[in-house]
């Protein structure tokens, strides 16, 4: 068996690569060699900066009881290189997605693990966006946009870009996206194609004469942005909060417009499905929708940096110190 090289967060703003022996493959397991894995600039940076809360139960194994040293990550795409005796022979050599920390190799139990076979034609770098696309699908479902509504998306990181891309497929009256980084404001303007999304900076939005919005998505990762969301939401409008703020805090003004405007605050998180939909929707159905959306939107165009695992410290330092230069950062492991 090959040795696994795994990325660990060891303390605040410290990462290291640890090499470990993999156990012998069991009959119902597969060995995956990683091709690429995507860094979450939201959740992983909370881990990198030590801003994650200590949750006994976060409704998912990834975010529960976090503490250093910690192997973290959830967007690995690889190739099955070895299979156990009881595993379907046809899985050998298949490209798969798995929710797994950044590592060169890893072992998965076929039945208990979330192994997703990549559809034909879906390249590994596109598949790295699957968790974020599933999140975007969940956000749109929770927001439930209505024909002719005015919609605002605060934050144009990867989640915001994917959410805005999905919303642009709806017959909305208007769709506005906001981000303070120019690189991200330009990301939806594909060459030769007029974007359906009006992209503004926070200051431009405050100076604009745009009407208030029926539906607002807060995806900036900044809790203070909730004040902007409240100020810009119409009477009886909805605010979908998809950001995970971790231990970040901000004063929120609930004593002004919010108090009289019957604004709904909706907490949206991808680990579960909205109770209103769970009778008809499950994770498998949502993944099908997300995979189809990846084919349409092709978000690999938003990969701004590629690093080897050996240069992981440089990758996280870039995201921490110069986020304005990045959209999606990935690790490339093999071909």
Q: How would DSSP label each residue in 182-194? A: HHHHTTT--TTS-
Band of residue 235 on the pLDDT scale cut at 50, 70, 90: very high
Band of residue 190 on the pLDDT scale cut at 50, 70, 90: low
Q: How confident is the model at residue 113, as a pLDDT?
A: 65
Band of residue 82 on the pLDDT scale cut at 50, 70, 90: very high
Whether omega for the bond prior to residue 22 falls within 30 degrees of 0, making it cis, is no
Q: How confident is the model at residue 110, as a pLDDT?
A: 86
Where is average pLDDT lowest: 57-61, 89-93, 246-250?
57-61
Q: Is the pLDDT of residue 237 over 70?
A: yes
Band of residue 54 on the pLDDT scale cut at 50, 70, 90: low
Cβ proximity of 68 and 9 under 8 Å:
yes
> What CATH number labels 131-267?
3.40.50.720
- Per the model's pLDDT, the better-predicted residue between 37 and 225 turns out to be 37
Cα(33)–Cα(331) distance, rounded to whole angstroms? 13
Q: How confident is the model at residue 230, as a pLDDT?
A: 93
Cα(315)–Cα(75) distance, rounded to whole angstroms? 16
**Across the strands, what pairs with 303?**
328
Q: Is the pLDDT of residue 205 over 90?
A: no
Domain residue spans of the chain: 3-128+298-332, 131-267
Its CATH architecture, for the domain 3-128+298-332, is Alpha-Beta Complex (3.90)
Q: Which pLDDT tens digit goes with each residue over 208-229?
A: 877 799 999 999 988 888 999 9
Q: Which pLDDT tens digit goes with each residue over 273-331?
A: 999 999 999 999 999 999 999 999 999 999 999 999 999 999 999 999 999 999 999 99
Cβ proximity of 237 and 229 under 8 Å:
no
| CB neighbour list of residue 254: distance below 8 Å, 6 or more residues apart | 230
């Amino acid at each position: 068996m090959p040795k696994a090289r795994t990325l660990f967060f060891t303390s605040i703003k410290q990462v290291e690569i640890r090499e470990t022996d993999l156990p012998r493959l069991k009959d119902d397991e597969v060995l995956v060699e990683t091709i690429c894995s995507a860094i979450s600039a939201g959740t992983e940076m909370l881990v990198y900066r030590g801003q994650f809360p200590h949750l006994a139960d976060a409704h998912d194994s990834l975010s529960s009881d976090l503490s250093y040293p910690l192997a973290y990550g959830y967007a690995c795409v690889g190739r099955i290189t070895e299979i156990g005796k009881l595993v379907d022979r046809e899985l050998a050599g298949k490209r798969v997605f798995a929710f797994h920390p950044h590592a060169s190799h890893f072992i998965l139990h076929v039945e208990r693990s979330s192994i997703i076979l990549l559809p034909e034609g879906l390249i590994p770098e596109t598949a790295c966006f699957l968790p974020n696309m599933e999140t975007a699908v969940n956000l749109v479902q929770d927001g439930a946009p209505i024909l002719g509504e005015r919609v605002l998306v605060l934050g144009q990181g990867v989640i915001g870009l994917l959410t805005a891309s999905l919303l642009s497929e709806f017959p909305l009256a208007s769709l506005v996206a906001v981000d303070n980084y120019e690189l991200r404001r330009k990301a939806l303007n594909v060459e030769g194609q007029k974007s359906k999304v009006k992209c503004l900076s926070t200051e431009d939005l405050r100076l604009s004469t745009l009407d208030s919005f029926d539906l607002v998505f807060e995806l900036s990762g900044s809790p203070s942005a909730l004040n902007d969301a409240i100020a810009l939401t119409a009477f009886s409008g909805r605010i979908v909060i998809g950001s995970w703020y971790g231990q970040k805090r901000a004063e929120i003004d609930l004593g002004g417009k919010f108090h009289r405007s019957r604004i709904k605050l909706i907490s949206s998180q991808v680990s579960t499905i909205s109770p209103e939909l769970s009778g008809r929707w499950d994770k498998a159905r949502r993944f099908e929708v997300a995979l189809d959306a990846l084919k349409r939107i092709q978000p690999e165009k938003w990969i701004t940096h590629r690093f080897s695992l050996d240069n992981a410290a440089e990758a996280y330092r870039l995201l921490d110190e110069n986020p304005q230069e990045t959209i999606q950062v990935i690790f490339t492991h093999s071909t």
